[in-house]
Chains A and B, each alone.
Chain A
Amino acid sequence: MKEADEKDLLRELVAHLRQHRTELREEWARRITDAKLLTAMSREEIFAEATSVYNNYVETLETGTLETLHAYARNLSERIIPRGVETHEVVGIVLLLRDVLARSLFAKYQSDFKLLNRVLDAYEPAANRIANTVAVGFVQERERIIREQQEALRELSTPVLQVRERLLILPIIGVIDSQRARQLTEQLLRGIRANRARVVVIDITGVAAMDSSVANHLVLTVEASRLLGAAVIVTGLSPEIAQTLVKIGVNLGKMHTVGDLQGGIEEAERVLGYKVVPIAESSERA
């Protein structure tokens, strides 16, 4: 009995919201501007979005199913996240709409307090679910984008480059945590096999500092590369990293280090049996 009652009330409510659509929507758009939300968007855009959010909102109240709204929230997030819209703004506008609609219900039923109570009983849970769905949809979309960017960043930040037949360089830039260290190792070892490398120069000029577990990992990488038959030359150790390596007691006999990348490549060329001479000099001799 009570459920049917609630449904009737919701239907009445939806009819009310449809009927007063124009003024409620305008009121909402005005409140959004007043609250200085969605500042990244123009007035016309805000109004257009407000229209479709409003329609979706009322439709969800009517049907009670959240799937359409969820899909819409995802789609909306996809459009507005690249424009720099923040989480608090999205949650803010949905809560504002909830507020605007609730106030109009107060105005409509103010003469009958009992009925108003029942209307709010029907409205509040549905409105809360909607706010929840939109907020969750937005945050999920945001997290998905962050994950994608992290992935892209990781791919970008670990190039294994061949500079000469059988000579690879691995320039490392930025902060290395243990996950990135593991990935670097994996890519390097695969690169050694794929390019049949005999010498690898790992340049860590761009790494300001590393903790002892990452330093240990670097040593393991050097040893694993040797097991594949490739000699590793590490270049560009900063004073801090040098101190870390000595503190963890690295066996320096196993680590071949050279001051900078240029020196490292020259050393690698020597190991491979190359000798680079200026053209003038070599033609004089010929």
Chain B
Amino acid sequence: MAVPILKQSPYLIATIQSALSDADLLSLRDSLTEQVGRFRSRGVIVDVTALDVLDSFASRTLRDIAYMVRLRGAETVIVGIQPEVAFAMVQLGITLEDVATALDLEEGLAYLGKK
């Protein structure tokens, strides 16, 4: 299932709505890195509120997206990580270091607005 990417003034918002296959994740990565340049976006928000599992491949891909988007000149915020998911991730040693995180979409937008 492809992830819809919305353009909202200078930001791109990708809301993941159900569990994704590895291929879906890679296509999300490709679309975001491509569109961030095309729309000259300043920020990208990836909303994972709907996910109750985030495996190591998904976490790594999210981190890669953040790094690639930074190289393309924008900032990424991951929003809506569930409490259980967060703890499971850190137990696996996935801490998304140097990637910004926020509670939800609203907080993510506020964070990007302050940049």
Binding site for B on A (CB under 8 A): 185-186, 189-190, 192-193, 196-198, 220-221, 223-230, 254
Expressed in whole angstroms, the Cα–Cα distance for A221 and B78 within the complex equals: 18
Interface contact B103-A226, CB-CB below 8 Å:
no
Which 10 A-B residue pairs are closest in the complex by CB-CB distance? A189-B83, A229-B102, A224-B86, A227-B86, A229-B103, A223-B90, A220-B90, A223-B95, A224-B87, A224-B90
> Which of A193, A196, A220, A254 makes the CB contact (< 8 A) with B83?
A193
Q: Which residues of A contact B112 (CB under 8 A)?
A: none
Number of residue pairs A-B, CB distance < 8 angstroms: 57
Tell me if B96 counts as interface (CB < 8 A to partner A).
yes
Expressed in whole angstroms, the Cα–Cα distance for A192 and B81 within the complex equals: 12
Q: Which residues of B contact A227 (CB under 8 A)?
A: 78, 81, 85-86, 89-90, 95-96, 101
Expressed in whole angstroms, the Cα–Cα distance for A229 and B79 within the complex equals: 8
Chain A contact residues: helix, strand, loop or mixed: helix
The 8 A CB mask of B15-30 against A (1 = contact, 0 = none) is 0000000000000000
Expressed in whole angstroms, the Cα–Cα distance for A131 and B101 within the complex equals: 63
Closest to B77 in A: A229
The 8 A CB mask of B57-83 against A (1 = contact, 0 = none) is 000000000000000000000110111
Report 20 cross-chain contacts, Cβ distance below 8 Å, ordered by A residue: A186-B83, A189-B87, A190-B83, A192-B83, A192-B103, A193-B103, A196-B103, A196-B107, A197-B103, A220-B90, A223-B90, A224-B89, A227-B81, A227-B95, A228-B86, A228-B101, A228-B103, A230-B103, A254-B95, A254-B97
Tell me if B9 counts as interface (CB < 8 A to partner A).
no
Q: B55 to nearest A CB, angstroms?
A: 15
Tell me if B91 counts as interface (CB < 8 A to partner A).
yes
Q: Which residues of B contact A192 (CB under 8 A)?
A: 83, 103
Expressed in whole angstroms, the Cα–Cα distance for A37 and B84 within the complex equals: 52
List 14 extra interface pairs beyond A193-B83, A226-B95, A227-B96, CB under 8 A: A186-B83, A189-B83, A189-B87, A190-B83, A193-B82, A197-B103, A198-B103, A223-B90, A224-B86, A224-B90, A227-B101, A228-B83, A228-B101, A229-B101
Interface contact A185-B107, CB-CB below 8 Å:
no
Closest to B108 in A: A229
Expressed in whole angstroms, the Cα–Cα distance for A225 and B97 within the complex equals: 13
Closest to B100 in A: A229
Q: Which residues of B contact A185 (CB under 8 A)?
A: 87
Q: Which residues of B contact A254 (CB under 8 A)?
A: 95, 97
Expressed in whole angstroms, the Cα–Cα distance for A227 and B102 within the complex equals: 7
Q: B82 to nearest A CB, angstroms?
A: 8
Expressed in whole angstroms, the Cα–Cα distance for A196 and B106 within the complex equals: 11
Expressed in whole angstroms, the Cα–Cα distance for A230 and B107 within the complex equals: 11
Q: Which residues of A contact B87 (CB under 8 A)?
A: 185-186, 189, 220-221, 224
Q: Which residues of B contact A224 (CB under 8 A)?
A: 83, 86-87, 89-90
Interface contact A228-B81, CB-CB below 8 Å:
yes
Expressed in whole angstroms, the Cα–Cα distance for A47 and B103 within the complex equals: 65
Expressed in whole angstroms, the Cα–Cα distance for A225 and B85 within the complex equals: 11
Q: A55 to nearest B CB, angstroms?
A: 55
Most buried by A among B79, B82, B90, B96: B90
Closest to A230 in B: B103
Q: Which residues of B contact A186 (CB under 8 A)?
A: 83, 87
Expressed in whole angstroms, the Cα–Cα distance for A230 and B82 within the complex equals: 13
